[in-house]
Chain A
Amino acid sequence: MSEAIKLDGVIKRYGHKVAVNRLSLSVKEGELFAFLGPNGAGKTTTIKMITGLLTPHAGTVDVCGHRMGTDGLPAKAQLAYVPDQPFLYEKLTGREFLYFVAEMYRMDTASRDAALDTLIRRLDMSEFLDRLAGSYSHGMKQRVVLAAALLHQPRVLIIDEPMVGLDPRTVRTVKDLFLDITRSGGTVFMSTHTLEVAEAVADRIGIIHQGDLIAEGTLEELRARATQQHSLESIFLELTGSDDEWIDGES
């Protein structure tokens, strides 16, 4: 399988602070990669570099073989990005927004309607899709934005905190959608604090801490690295040192 996302020696600084430090990482086609880390570890910065919103100070980012920065347009046409704060045009209805996205990706009407029907059904959006997006709850917005991301069937889905604000049924649907994407050869790069979700669906997991990728591999490989730890939560706390700090703080 070829690499869908490849970061090579990526460095990003904010002033004197190094947010991402020589990050090298590759995610293959058909893989679901969970990107974990404490707050401020550099997850969102990494995602923004993959999507072309930020430019690395050093290193390269490739998406589907296209270099972000010099060959960004073909790369962006192959990926979809769902940020942690979902963006919608508040004065468009959800359906109008989805039509807009479809047109932006040059989808023809028939394939747009077919894809939209499936997504409306799976994400249970029929109740509110024709209302203005300004009236949506966070969960509704999240569902519409997710539908917009999946509408053009991207080869790479980048998603930041996908489960925030979703009810348990939608969480289950989203997990199933992710699995469907990877089964059909697509790639999902997911940043999350919901360790149970990562544990349940991720093929591989990367843990970033203070800008450094401190661990990467399958859940089994991470378990092998950690000392006598079984759950992803325990492994995460041990590797990021949070467990000790918490205990020290408590004592």
Chain B
Amino acid sequence: MARVDIAPAGVGLLVRMKCRALLNQTREIVEDAPVKVFATTGFIAMIWYALYEVFWRGFAYFHIDALQSAVAIPLLFNFFFVALLVLLTVSNAILAYGSLFLHEEAAYLLSSPLRPRTTVGLKYAESLFFSSWSLLLLGLPLMMAIARVQNEPWVFYPLFLLYFVTFIPIPGAMGLILAWVIARHLPRTARRALACGACATLVITVIWGLRSVQQLDWIQEDWLDGFFARMSLIQASILPSTWVTRGIEAAIDNRVGDAVRYLVVLAANGLFLSWIAVHLVAGGFVAAYDRASATRGKLERPACAASGGFAGRLFFFLPPPARLIAAKDMRTFFRDPMQWSQLAILFGLMSLYLLNTPRFTLGDTPSRWTAIVPFLNLTAVSFILATFTSRFVFPLVSLEGHQLWLIGLLPYSRTWILGAKFSFAMVVTLSAASGVMMLASYILRISFVSAAIHWMVAASVCYGLCGFAVGFGGRLPQFEHRNAARIANGLGGTINLVASVLLIAVMLFGMGYVTWRVGDRGITTRTDGMIFAICGLVVLIGIVAGTCAMVVGARHLKRVEV
């Protein structure tokens, strides 16, 4: 029997293995799906450029006036880094919980001769790596924009990047500790707790921010004092976001000494907090894993007939086979916090924005603003829906692959599967979109005709996007996968996303033209008939596109062999 050296391997071995896996994955994607690489890179570049433009125009606007610039720019950075602190803490907590307490890899590493600290250290490094998207996507355009406006010297760039790099471990460590606390004390409902916590944090943050701004009397001369008094909480010296902001301010003003001092403060705190988090979580890792895995999935739910209950009644209009499948999908939707929380967060934020929109308008005078807002709402709703259908609706058909032996043997056409998926997606998306559109119409006192037209277009967008997601899901299924995220990220998912964005772009182009043509008057009963014809055409485009995709998907699904 061979003897083994029991000195446990270090985190270096695991990092090397992960790098190798990442290299293999990159090579595989580049070789197998170059279109996906091209499309993803293109989309990231577009988003990146759009952010850069927004940041640059914003900074340029503030830069016109010296006082305005001195007040607004540090405040913007403060808001930005506070938001980043909260978001990265929550996202790191979700990532750390999944990788430490849910994935099979954690069990494998835990049964291997590795110290818990090694496993926790690896997972912490992984979540920091995944958090770095904020640097790539948000940090770089922000840096380029401010540098362009302020004509910064070269030393500003490395300092700014270092601020991001030293800042990320702080929310990372807090997220790691949060995940451990949840696993240790709330394992039974951990995912739900995380999702609810994320929703609540965002809602509270936004409400607080908006209330702070609303409660100011903008006419009084001392508004600036009042404003700063209310903002003092997010500018507290104890917050890491404040250190970054002050450091960046120093870097902008070419005070290199001060900038470096704040950088050192950030780095020291980041390292210290990381050390504490890794050691704390490693010390209680086995106990937390034990508790999380021992109670996972053991929540009992009241049974009801497959087509009964709320979910069944919701699809009363469908024939029995499709009703069964749609009701099952609806139950899955409500039992998976990742699905409903994403939709709830996006539409919740939008509703909050709408609830506060009148406060920012100047009196009750109808203006171009009132004519444009419905179009902007439609744009926001369309992109939120495209995200939802691409991520959650597209994989639905593929996920039935392992059940096709059951569903495929039923004495019904496979087309019913697509019909059921489409009905489920329409009910969810149309309910959410209608709620937001109606709220917007009520609050902004949009004319009935305009509200009805925009609602019809939103319904058509829902139809088109759901038709695309289900139709492409049937035409390009990936039955071999069980992971919805992986299916959505595959070639079919990418094609669906690109097609969905193109469809939205075409429909919004039409509605943008309408908004431009009607001007301040908005759409009323006296609007030119040509405008109504264009709106009708836009609605028709959504319906025809969605139906065509469904037909193509249904034809292919009938022939497909699993």
Contact = CB atoms under 8 A, between A and B. Distances in A.
Interface of A: 12, 14-15, 51-55, 69, 72-74, 76-78, 81, 83, 85, 87, 89, 91-93, 96, 100, 103-107, 111, 132, 152-153, 155, 184-186
A186 B108 contact: no
Nearest to B118: A104
A39 B8 CA distance: 35
Contacts of B25: 91
A184 B1 CA distance: 7
B562 interface: no
Q: Which of B108, B287, B298 has the most CB of A within 10 A?
A: B108
Interface stretch (B16-24, B173-181, B314-322, B417-425): B16-24
B291 to A, nearest CB: 9
A14 B300 CA distance: 13
A106 B1 contact: no
B13 A105 contact: no
Interface stretch (B56-64, B91-99, B109-117): B109-117
A53 B287 CA distance: 9
A55 B287 CA distance: 7
B112 A87 contact: no
A83 B295 CA distance: 19
A155 B4 CA distance: 10
B193 interface: no
Contacts, number: 91
Contacts of A81: 111
Contact of A132 (B6, B28, B107, B298): B28
B24 A54 contact: no
B303 interface: no
A87 B13 contact: no
Given A14-B294, A52-B110, A85-B104, A93 B4 contact: no
A46 to B, nearest CB: 13
B289 interface: yes
B9 interface: yes
Contacts of A53: 107, 110-111, 289-290, 293
B2 interface: yes
B336 interface: no
Contacts of A184: 1
Given A73-B115, A74-B6, A132-B24, A185 B295 contact: no
Given A52-B286, A81-B111, A155 B1 contact: yes
A91 B28 CA distance: 9
Contacts of B17: 89, 92, 96, 100
B221 interface: no
Q: Which of B13, B28, B111, B286 has the most CB of A within 10 A?
A: B111
Contacts of B364: none
B66 interface: no
A73 B8 contact: yes
A93 B9 CA distance: 21
A77 B9 CA distance: 11
Interface in B286-313: 286-287, 289-290, 293-295, 298
A73 B6 contact: yes
Nearest to B18: A89
Given A83-B108, A103-B9, A132-B28, 6 more contacts: A52-B110, A55-B290, A100-B13, A105-B5, A153-B2, A185-B1
Interface string B110-128: 1111110000000000000
Interface of B is mostly: helix
A186 B1 CA distance: 7
Given A53-B110, A96-B20, A106 B115 contact: no
Contacts of B104: 83, 85, 87
B362 interface: no
B219 interface: no
A89 B1 contact: no
A77 B20 contact: no
Nearest to B2: A153
A206 B365 CA distance: 83
For chain B, give the interface size range.
20 to 34
A152 B4 contact: yes
A92 B105 CA distance: 13
30 contacts: A14-B294, A15-B298, A51-B111, A52-B286, A53-B290, A54-B293, A55-B286, A55-B290, A69-B286, A72-B286, A73-B115, A77-B8, A77-B113, A89-B21, A91-B21, A91-B24, A92-B20, A92-B21, A93-B24, A96-B20, A104-B9, A104-B114, A105-B4, A105-B5, A105-B113, A106-B4, A106-B7, A153-B1, A185-B1, A186-B1
B378 to A, nearest CB: 41
B295 to A, nearest CB: 7
B104 to A, nearest CB: 4
Given A52-B286, A73-B6, A104 B112 contact: yes
A91 B21 CA distance: 5
B113 A104 contact: yes
A136 B17 CA distance: 19
B294 to A, nearest CB: 5
Given A14-B295, A53-B110, A91-B28, A111 B9 contact: no
Contacts of A103: 9, 13
A132 B23 CA distance: 12
Nearest to B291: A55
A250 to B, nearest CB: 25
A44 to B, nearest CB: 11
A69 B2 CA distance: 24
A8 to B, nearest CB: 19
8 shortest interchain CB distances as A-B pairs = A91-B21, A77-B6, A153-B2, A106-B5, A77-B113, A76-B113, A87-B104, A91-B25
B297 to A, nearest CB: 11
Contacts of A106: 4-5, 7, 9
Q: Which of B25, B287, B295 has the most CB of A within 10 A?
A: B25
A84 B104 CA distance: 11
A78 B108 contact: no
B402 to A, nearest CB: 13
A89 B105 CA distance: 8
A74 B6 CA distance: 6
Contacts of B4: 77-78, 105-107, 152-153
Contacts of A104: 9, 13, 112-114
B339 to A, nearest CB: 24
B319 to A, nearest CB: 35
Contacts of B295: 14-15
B301 to A, nearest CB: 16
B530 to A, nearest CB: 55
B467 to A, nearest CB: 31
A74 B3 CA distance: 11
Interface in B50-82: none
A87 B105 contact: yes
Nearest to B298: A14
A181 to B, nearest CB: 9
B472 to A, nearest CB: 23
Nearest to A132: B24
Contacts of B22: 91
B16 to A, nearest CB: 8
